[in-house]
Amino acid sequence: MGDARRDPPVRALRAVRARSAVPGGGSRRVIPLDSSAQPASPRRTETRHHPEGSTCHHFTFHRLTCDEYDQLRARAAGRCELCTTPESETGGRRLVVDHFWDAGTEVRFVRGLLCDRCNAVMACFDERKAWGVASRQWEDAARNYEARSFQQPTAEAWSLVSEVRKARRARRERMRPTRSEPARLASSDGRLDASVRIPLDRPSDAAAALRAAMTADQLAALIAALQSSQSEAA
């Protein structure tokens, strides 16, 4: 106790040692006594882009070092790497790191920097989400963008990627509403009335629901259309 003033650094190290030796304190971080003996944790060094000097997002979430992140930013040159929109004109006013990731196969690689909209396109490309009319137009561009991925997977990993996508697509197709589920009514102005249900597996109930929802003229036109497509098919 009395030597506390004489040699404070040694005392500090002893305190660190004592704390990490606490029984049951296994989760406590052991601070190396000689910092030159071990490289510093990347969580301590990959902080260059963080405003408060904490570990950078790109390292925590994408395992990209600060140098790699700078290379990625230089490659993107201030534009979304899929649609080429300048960063300041993107919806989120920033570009986000886009990566492929699959928990099952543990395949993960960073593809590039994207605007939020193109990030959503890649979710469709990865079969995490169903394509929409707007996103589908970007499918070829998405394929070209992925081919230029910042981190290039091995040939083996690429084949896992396509298997993962195939499995995701099959799973989504299995979950698609079946014919026996009620359909929702849509009108030509694009509005949906979700409260109206047409039970497709019960024709007389379906007819009653349509009769209640449509005008007489609309019903007559529908009946005519059904009959004409029937004769076309025959």
66 binds Zn ion (CB under 5 A): yes
Number of amino acids touching Zn ion (CB under 5 A): 11
3-state secondary structure of 128: coil
How far apart CA 231 and CA 158 sit, in angstroms, is: 48
Which residues in 129-188 contact Zn ion (CB under 5 A)? none
**CB-based contacts of 54, cutoff 8 Å, min separation 6:** 47
How far apart CA 145 and CA 161 sit, in angstroms, is: 15
Which residues in 29-48 contact Zn ion (CB under 5 A)? 48
83 binds Zn ion (CB under 5 A): yes
**Closest CB to Zn ion among 85 and 183?**
85
Candidates 61, 86, 105, 137: give the one binding Zn ion (CB under 5 A). 61
**Closest CB to Zn ion among 111 and 209?**
111
Candidates 72, 115, 161, 209: give the one binding Zn ion (CB under 5 A). 115
Could you tell me how many helices (H) and strands (E) the chain has, helices first?
10, 4
Candidates 110, 118, 161, 209: give the one binding Zn ion (CB under 5 A). 118
Candidates 49, 75, 94, 211: give the one binding Zn ion (CB under 5 A). 49
110 binds Zn ion (CB under 5 A): no
Question: Cα 145–149–152 angle (5° rounding)?
Answer: 145
Shortest reach from residue 98's CB to Zn ion, in Å:
8
72 binds Zn ion (CB under 5 A): no
| Residue 126 and residue 142 in contact, taking contact as beta carbons nearer than 8 Å | no
93 binds Zn ion (CB under 5 A): no
Candidates 80, 110, 122, 164: give the one binding Zn ion (CB under 5 A). 80
**Closest CB to Zn ion among 45 and 167?**
45
Which long-range contacts does 73-81 make (Cβ < 8 Å, 24+ apart)? 73/113, 75/112, 75/113, 75/150, 76/112, 76/113, 80/113, 80/114, 80/115, 80/118, 81/112, 81/113, 81/114, 81/118, 81/145, 81/148
* Residues binding Zn ion (CB under 5 A): 48-49, 56, 61, 66, 80, 82-83, 97, 115, 118
